[in-house]
Structure 1
Amino acid sequence: ADEGNPFLESGRENALLSKNDPPAPTYCWKDITKEFREATRELELGELVHDDMFTLFEAMSAIEMMDPKMDAGMMCNFGNKKVMNFDQAVSAGALKIADLSPAEHIGIIDSTLACLVTWLEGHSLAQTVFTNLYLHKPHQVEDKVMKAFSICVLKMVDMIKNFVTKAAVFEEEDFQPVVYGFKLAWDVTEVRAAGMMKEIEDELSKKVKATRAKLGEELDSTQLACHEEAVAVYSRIKFCRFFQQALIVFNKKGSDGVEEVERLLQQCLEVLPVLRRTIALGVQPDPNAEGTNRADYPTVMGFEPLVNQRLLPPTFPRYTKIKPREDTMEYLEALIGRLRHVCRIVDCSSFHSAIDFLGEFSKTWPCVLSRSVVQLLYLPCPGKVLGNLTMVDVLKESVRAFIRPPVLSQRGNNALGNHPHARELVDAFLNHCVRPFTSMVHISGHNRARQRDKLTHLLEELAVLQDEADRLDTVLHSISLKMESSLPHQPQQQLACFTTWVLHHVLRTMIRYLLSGFELELYSAHEYGYIYWYLYEFLYGWMISALSRADAFLMEQEARAEQQRTGRPVKKGKRRKKPCPHSREIFISQAYQNLCGGYYKTLAGFTLDGKLRRPCPEFDKEKVRYEHRFAPFNSILTPPPVQYGQYKEMTDPFKYQPPPTPEDMYLAACKCFQNARMLLDNVPDLSSELTSVMKVAKTNFVVVKLLLSGHKKDSAILPEFDFSQHKNFPIIRI
């Protein structure tokens, strides 16, 4: 059987070679097919043989050929269907450009909205929206409804693309802005496109009125179906017009048009139930369509999934699955809800409240469009906030509200504030603050995974500001001391006011960085101990100290102002009646500190009990992991980074005599969880997140109390950490 096989003939032709020619290599080929098949029988289904020459690098670079999920070109290899563009489809009679039925209108509109939503989820326009042939040449479409709708969609694509690119808070996995040379109806203005939709809407409204039942008349099934189809088409045109007009107002008026936008979006929400209810009235994808992609792409008239295949890059493109119509309606409802919510950013009068708003909104993992819109509402152009405020003025108000430095005091007889050199120094410092604090706003607009990397760079910028703030406070303090002797009223000394303000934002950023690791599932369970320890012992402790210092400074200024107004010192009893400005934030920070302490002490108890799985020390070094987790903090001067040796020394249980038992740690953890719950009880108007934190603290208190009583002490089952209630603080399961 092997006769004539060139690979099994070992050098038979060597004798014919000239003596001057180099000797040909001698092969000793052996057929191992039988042995190979016998050896593979020992492997389980899905099991692979690991070869030393095939490393992780090669595995990550490997592409499975002819798998449609990885090889997008495979979509071309099934069936004999010819791919046609707009003109070819019209000539072949496969694409109607006039007299479309209501069912065709409904099906094409729904499929186009599904493609639009899929584009917003990060896929390319060539594989989503532009698979609709009507969008390629909308002016050649004679059907009025389809022509107006096609132009409206193109204008919406153009506006959305401009929003996202201008806000610049997207990454390659979020959004694909490339339009592949398509003209997005540039010869039609946005207002004219909306006018065309309004004209069609008015015509359809007349049709709806003409088909509905007259007073005392009953419609038969055919008439009722005709009326339902008319309502369905009318509602879709109405929805698209409202949505397009909302985008136009966002684009033209910004924060000044929020009320009008909310009205338009509310009208969109009112129409959506009709769209959802009438999905079945539209033409549906053909289940017998050629190719294997019929479930992933619309196959109704007007859609050609492969029409733009040549526009895609030569590399393997992302596999695109168009969202189902029912899911599209849910997505649109959620999108409109998000857009209505971001309008509230205009009510954030202070920088601190705006950062809190953006941070809370980011935790919901919003889409790229809503993230971009909220950025443009708050920062419509560089250095401007909400359209009419400068960033410097906003930051000045932020410092004034946080600690009210004497140099920024608006009270009378402010000698330090009137000092020209002092004012010049403060203005220069605040100008330097604009870039990092603008970055702080932008970071909240990126997706959650990218935020963590960007927080590292933000910490480096804030470290520079810390040094500048320290120098500024020193100079202002020296100026105030020189002014003491020459003024009848002794000016209040400037003591670390700007330093404390910057420190507060540094600590917020550090805490945010560490907690993001839990949400992104970056930490292993055996790492939780030193993460929560760092938060408990240092970051939240420093945060409480900074807030308390600002509180004391503000209260002292209130007392000083009262004394100057009345001419006599204020009694301490009276001074205490006024609520502390930062009391709410202090209580919340103390609650989080105790919560982190509860986790750390519970994990220490698990370690002493041998109930925490750790990696083999031969293949894993805790020091390397620790230094990697806290590496971004090395650029910060205050608080100073805690080195691994210091951590080990501070957490060594054997430095105490006698060393603590697991029960001792569980008892201490119980107290921490109980304190966290009690502190949150003192906070009025708990947010949904703080309510979740309180539930976590209560549940963990009960669980650790069970551990303290010896419950499941001898169980071999390891504890689990359930993050379903809160993304950063898990419920402990035993």
Structure 2
Amino acid sequence: MLPNNSFPVSTMRVVTQSVVPRDITDEFTSAASKLKTGQLVKDDYFTLFEAVGALEIMDSKMDSGYLGPGENHAQALDDDYDVTRELSPEEVLGIMDGLLCHEMAWHMGHPLSQTLFTSLYLDKLLWPVPKSLDEATFSRGRAASNDKEAPIVHLVLRAYCLALLKCCDFVHARVATEYYFEEEDFVTQLYNRSLLSQFEPEPFYDLLHQAIYWVDEQKDKLDEKVLQAIKTRLLFRRDFLKGMEQDIEVSETRSKEPFLACLPQLDDMARSTTLGAQVPDSFSWKIQRKLASTVPPRPMVNINFDDALAHLRRLCQDAIDIQEVIGYRGPYNFKVTVWTLLSRKPQPSVYIRSLVQSMIVNNMTILGAVPVKQFLYDELAELVLPSSILLQANMDDIEVPSDPRFQIAKQMDAFVQRFSQPFVDTFRSSCLNRCRIRRTAEDLDEQLRTLSKEPPLMLANGDATYSYPLSSWAYHQKLVQFRLILQLGFELSIYAPEELPGMYWYLSHICSTHLGHIDRIRTFTVATAKRNLPDVAAKKRDALERHAALQKSLKLLERLTTQIVAIDAFAISLHALYVLLARHRVLPTASAPQAYSSDRLRYELRMKPFLSITLPELVPYDEYRREAVLEGDSDEIVLERATKAISEARKAWEATLANGAFIRDSDGEESPAPAIEEDWKRDIKDTKRACIGASIAIGTVKEALEKRTPKEPTDEAANSPSVNLRPSLEVIQILLIIGSVLSYNMNAGASYTLLGMTERMCMVLGLHVETSGFSRATQAARRRVWWAMAFQNSHFSLAYDRPSITMINQPEIPYDPKSMPGHRGYFETLCRLIQVVLDMLRGLMFTHHSHLRYHEIREYKQRIERIIAEAAPHLKSRERCATLGEHIERTELRLHSSYFISLMCRVSLDPDTPMDEQRREVVREDCLTNLINTIEAFIELHSINSHASRTWISLQRTIASAFLLVANNNDQLHPQTWDLIEKLEAALSDHVHDDKSSDHNSKTDTAKHLASSLHALREVSAAFRARKTRHRVVPKVVPSLQNTSPATSFASPSSTLGSGVPAYSSSQSVSPDGHIDNILNQVSDVMLFPSMSSGNA
């Protein structure tokens, strides 16, 4: 580098003729071929300084300050146009319209250097920076004389230009203070100019009024139509300036008049634009040289006047409708209002979006009225904590650290501090452009992490409720953000055509997960509502308010469910449709076969923002691919799936439309935001039209598939299956049926031997592990067969204390493709219960413990409760059962789940087991309660269908539970136990005498064993009668458990037996010492378990 006072000296160029050019193409190609695809080559000595220096300075295309040959400084910077010359009214009108076009171009995101700052009139007003408004003239020092010489220029045009600049100043001030993206949404660069922000707006109104007055005086002197057009533009500028001046204060003034007055003026401006004469010389790109001389020159932006008016009309209408956002009616309604307004097509201008940002949160208040903390509390109250003590504001006044209310306030303040900012940002992010909304949603999804160590809430009676409201709320927000990211991906056309089937499936997967989570929240809300019913019946004021809050929360949950179901069904139908199109190669492919990409890499790219998120868990690629292409499903199955799903989607969207946009306090209440609600309805109707279009597409695909040439029938004899005695799924199913029959015939030894052979066949086929290479249908069948075998095997392990191979390893549970939490089927739920039992047996085997510890019992019990809570509605409630099969599934599930819990808790019945007495009483109560539930479930099953109650496992578990309950009975349970024993006697009597034979020798083995059990039960009944007569026991009224579902009975055993029931006492049991072995041995004439010998018992 040369010093500043040195100059380069030209040297003579020496040309040597001996230099021979050499072709290095082959060498360069060979060297380049050794590089990997995508590998970057970087020279350590080629730094950023050299890179910037490589840009060509003094190039007319790169340097706006470059002076061409023969061009001096004055010619380069100054134009020959005289801004002080007199203009005709038509020319003034044309300049006004040109300025309006450049103003709207700036609103659309173009820089001032390419729009308004290209005006020579504005440049004269702004530079040099005026110290007073009087200095802001087209000619410095001669403003007064020029006004008299050419008032249409120095009064009318000047007033319009100054008012326009002040409007731009208000817009710039609002946008610059909010969150936006430079050169994506808006460009705030002023190039060292001022938009007259130092002046108050009143002088601008005075100038406009003077200009309007002058125009009115010229009616008889100039063309009336042109003057009226100029006046219309002056009136518009005055009203527009008033609207911009309101800014954030519009939340207090609630004034729509300025923008309402602008709308009819825009129509007049559109009609009169042809009267103006364009003055192109009044705009020049040369001004860029004075604004920034070190950047490449950019062309002047010119937009059509009609486009400018359309953008301005939308801006005014959005400014009017923004009034409907101001009224606070709860977080849900507020979110619907904001999202609907800012989702308009085209999207509202950046000024409107910045104004909404300011209204959402300003000075730590929402809409200028609601504190952020209260706003978050309102959201929690609407969704997970209706009328909860955790949200009571008066706890902030407690200052005693030992007071529980102080601890609650402390924990809630920590939660607010952690989550208030991300929660408010979910609203503010909607004010960005659609691309940035999606990117911001990815960041918010990472911030909204579920609370991992939230303790369970304790009820007034001391029981714990594992609703985890704060975690549930955070997880709900994460799922909302996750779904938003996927849906915006479709809206922005981010996904390639070959990715559409997979992404539609992923959207359906997220919706299913969200539905299950909402159903879990609803379960605990309903439980709270049930606990509140006695107080409501007593018409207590607090209870009535709590009931209203709970009902409002349930309505919101139902509304969310309906909307997500609609999205889910629509995604399922589109997924199936695109799968068919991809299978038959109708769907185009964006990537070429030789492209450096693959399905796995594209999936990793799409899921990259979610890698750090633990919940919801990321679906492995192999599983994603199987689900995305519907592997193993024929075209007919996929087509049926699409047809059913699109029908469900249309119904769900109809229900969503019927629910309305907002939650209203009463049915007759008027819409709080009619314009925004109309937009919301239009959006839902457009979605319904999309469903109709998808339905037509599905019908077209169906017709095309039906027109295909059918395949020729194959030779039946050649393809008929031959008898195969080798291990297969069919053989294993047959053996399981035979083993069940043998067990029911009380031939447990033969059944156990046969089950061992069946188990080894399963191992030979590899059913105990996940094996790739099978179709989706075959894989599901393999899993179902293995879990059916595990069900029988687990019963032998529990009833006979036999080791089980199934506890070592298990395949995945065969979930239905549409299965989700809250809608798990019977077999899926039963498999999950078996998995808990196998985990328990595995834990005992590995730890060499003879019984479960207290914390293990609670953990396994809670897992079973969660499994039941995630079951389908008909498996938890009698009222939701519509068919005989659903009733049977419900009672069977209640029987087995109650039996499993009682089995885990039996350790409390053994007085020799070391256990804290308080814990023993809790576990003992759970054990006896679930023994009762087991028997009641069997009795109800028998009353529904006597054939359904003949299964061996159900019979054995019920009889074992009955004798164990009798052996540990006390006075409090006496009346209920007596009633259960009588009903069980009747049920067993029906099975014993079912063959109408009175001869004991002619009865089946099953009937003989059941008769023995029945005889023992009758002896117990006789003992109860004698005891009742001797002690004159008056039976107490005990609530019936017949209608109690496992979900409710598990949650609080004390609620089942009544709050007045004391802890059970072993002193009242039949057994003198209380040992379980002695208890069972005292029943001499009944065999609770069939003989394990190979012959008949």
TM-score between both structures, scaled by the size of structure 2: 0.51
Matched, 1:229 2:226: yes
Give me the whole-angstrom Cα distance separating, in 2, the residues matched to 1:160 and 1:85: 32
Counterpart position of 1:454: 440
Change beyond 3 A, Cα 1:316–1:358:
farther
Counterpart position of 1:566: 537
Give me the whole-angstrom Cα distance separating, in 1, the residues matched to 2:437 and 2:288: 34
Counterpart position of 1:35: none
Counterpart position of 2:203: 192
Counterpart position of 1:522: 494
Give me the whole-angstrom Cα distance separating, in 1, the residues matched to 2:188 and 2:417: 33
Give me the whole-angstrom Cα distance separating, in 2, the residues matched to 1:306 and 1:273: 34
Change beyond 3 A, Cα 1:205–1:427:
farther
CA deviation digits over 1:661-705, x for unaligned, max 9?
212211111111011112222231472222122122222223213
Matched, 1:110 2:107: no
Q: Structure 1 residue aligned with 2:122, among 118, 123, 135?
A: 135
- The Cα shift of 1:191 comes to 2.6
Counterpart position of 1:217: none
Counterpart position of 2:515: 544
Counterpart position of 1:158: 169
Matched, 1:643 2:616: no
| Letter aligned with residue 234 of structure 1 | K
- The Cα shift of 1:555 comes to 3.9
> Is the 8 Å Cα contact of residues 330 and 378 (structure 2) preserved in structure 1?
yes
Give me the whole-angstrom Cα distance separating, in 1, the residues matched to 2:611 and 2:232: 58
> Is the 8 Å Cα contact of residues 441 and 485 (structure 2) preserved in structure 1?
yes
Change beyond 3 A, Cα 1:646–1:64:
farther
Q: Structure 1 residue aligned with 2:366, among 385, 404, 428?
A: 385
Q: Structure 2 residue aligned with 1:663, among 589, 614, 636?
A: 636
689-698 or 75-84: which moved more?
Answer: 75-84
- Identical positions, percent: 20
> Is the 8 Å Cα contact of residues 10 and 27 (structure 1) preserved in structure 2?
no
> Is the 8 Å Cα contact of residues 455 and 513 (structure 1) preserved in structure 2?
yes
Counterpart position of 2:427: 441
Q: Structure 2 residue aligned with 1:337, among 309, 317, 331?
A: 317
Matched, 1:255 2:282: no
| Letter aligned with residue 666 of structure 1 | L
Q: Structure 2 residue aligned with 1:312, among 260, 272, 292?
A: 292
Structure 2 matches for 1:388-427, cutoff 5 A? 388-404=369-385, 406-408=388-390, 419-427=405-413
Counterpart position of 2:976: none
CA deviation digits over 1:527-575, x for unaligned, max 9?
0111111111x211122223333334444434433321324999xxx99
Counterpart position of 1:471: 453
Give me the whole-angstrom Cα distance separating, in 2, the residues matched to 1:306 and 1:535: 52
> Is the 8 Å Cα contact of residues 530 and 600 (structure 1) preserved in structure 2?
yes
TM-score between both structures, scaled by the size of structure 1: 0.75
Change beyond 3 A, Cα 1:278–1:622:
same
Change beyond 3 A, Cα 1:66–1:673:
farther
Change beyond 3 A, Cα 1:113–1:57:
farther
Give me the whole-angstrom Cα distance separating, in 2, the residues matched to 1:282 and 1:651: 60
Give me the whole-angstrom Cα distance separating, in 1, the residues matched to 2:619 and 2:640: 27
Give me the whole-angstrom Cα distance separating, in 2, the residues matched to 1:255 and 1:338: 14
Change beyond 3 A, Cα 1:709–1:550:
same
- The Cα shift of 1:589 comes to 0.9
Change beyond 3 A, Cα 1:418–1:632:
same
CA deviation digits over 1:177-206, x for unaligned, max 9?
111112323453123223322332344345
Give me the whole-angstrom Cα distance separating, in 1, the residues matched to 2:268 and 2:65: 38
Give me the whole-angstrom Cα distance separating, in 1, the residues matched to 2:525 and 2:74: 72
Change beyond 3 A, Cα 1:662–1:554:
same
Q: How many aligned residue pairs are there?
A: 616
- The Cα shift of 1:641 comes to 1.3
Matched, 1:270 2:281: no
> Is the 8 Å Cα contact of residues 504 and 543 (structure 1) preserved in structure 2?
yes
Give me the whole-angstrom Cα distance separating, in 1, the residues matched to 2:349 and 2:447: 28
| Letter aligned with residue 458 of structure 1 | L
| Letter aligned with residue 701 of structure 2 | L
Give me the whole-angstrom Cα distance separating, in 1, the residues matched to 2:439 and 2:620: 21
CA deviation digits over 1:122-154, x for unaligned, max 9?
222122112222223432334112222222122
| Letter aligned with residue 110 of structure 1 | D
Matched, 1:119 2:106: yes
| Letter aligned with residue 565 of structure 1 | V
Counterpart position of 1:360: 340
| Letter aligned with residue 606 of structure 2 | R
- The Cα shift of 1:102 comes to 2.0
> Is the 8 Å Cα contact of residues 65 and 289 (structure 2) preserved in structure 1?
no
| Letter aligned with residue 180 of structure 1 | Y
Q: Structure 1 residue aligned with 2:688, among 678, 689, 694?
A: 694
| Letter aligned with residue 471 of structure 1 | K
| Letter aligned with residue 691 of structure 2 | A
Structure 2 matches for 1:498-647, cutoff 5 A? 498-536=470-508, 538-567=509-538, 580-614=555-589, 615=591, 619=595, 620-647=597-624
| Letter aligned with residue 20 of structure 2 | Y
230-239 or 660-669: which moved more?
Answer: 660-669
- The Cα shift of 1:709 comes to 3.5
Where structure 2 has 5 or more consecutive residues not aligned to the other structure, the ranges are 1-11, 24-31, 42-51, 126-135, 139-146, 148-153, 661-679, 710-1097
> Is the 8 Å Cα contact of residues 272 and 333 (structure 1) preserved in structure 2?
yes
Give me the whole-angstrom Cα distance separating, in 2, the residues matched to 1:635 and 1:178: 37
CA deviation digits over 1:142-172, x for unaligned, max 9?
4112222222122122211111111122332
Counterpart position of 1:42: none
| Letter aligned with residue 407 of structure 1 | I
Give me the whole-angstrom Cα distance separating, in 1, the residues matched to 2:295 and 2:40: 18
> Is the 8 Å Cα contact of residues 444 and 451 (structure 1) preserved in structure 2?
yes
- The Cα shift of 1:585 comes to 2.2
CA deviation digits over 1:65-114, x for unaligned, max 9?
9999x76859987999997799x76xx6x424375432232122111111
Counterpart position of 1:241: 238
- The Cα shift of 1:594 comes to 0.9
Change beyond 3 A, Cα 1:366–1:410:
same
Counterpart position of 1:39: none
Give me the whole-angstrom Cα distance separating, in 1, the residues matched to 2:608 and 2:109: 32
In our comparison, the structure showing a higher alpha carbon Rg is 2
> Is the 8 Å Cα contact of residues 251 and 368 (structure 2) preserved in structure 1?
yes
Structure 2 matches for 1:689-728, cutoff 5 A? 689-710=683-704
Secondary structure of the structure 2 residue equivalent to 1:581: helix
Matched, 1:325 2:296: no
Change beyond 3 A, Cα 1:78–1:188:
farther
| Letter aligned with residue 399 of structure 1 | L
Counterpart position of 1:679: 652
Secondary structure of the structure 1 residue equivalent to 2:228: helix
Counterpart position of 1:147: 158
| Letter aligned with residue 558 of structure 2 | S
Give me the whole-angstrom Cα distance separating, in 1, the residues matched to 2:393 and 2:529: 11
- The Cα shift of 1:409 comes to 5.9
| Letter aligned with residue 380 of structure 1 | N
| Letter aligned with residue 232 of structure 2 | S
Secondary structure of the structure 2 residue equivalent to 1:471: coil
Larger relative contact order (Cα-Cα within 8 Å, sequence gap ≥ 6): 1
Counterpart position of 2:356: 374
- The Cα shift of 1:651 comes to 5.5
> Is the 8 Å Cα contact of residues 375 and 442 (structure 1) preserved in structure 2?
yes
Q: Calculate the aligned-residue CA RMSD, in Å.
A: 4.1
- The Cα shift of 1:462 comes to 0.9
Give me the whole-angstrom Cα distance separating, in 2, the residues matched to 1:602 and 1:84: 65
| Letter aligned with residue 422 of structure 1 | I
Counterpart position of 1:97: 84
Counterpart position of 1:169: 180
> Is the 8 Å Cα contact of residues 174 and 355 (structure 2) preserved in structure 1?
yes
> Is the 8 Å Cα contact of residues 361 and 367 (structure 2) preserved in structure 1?
yes
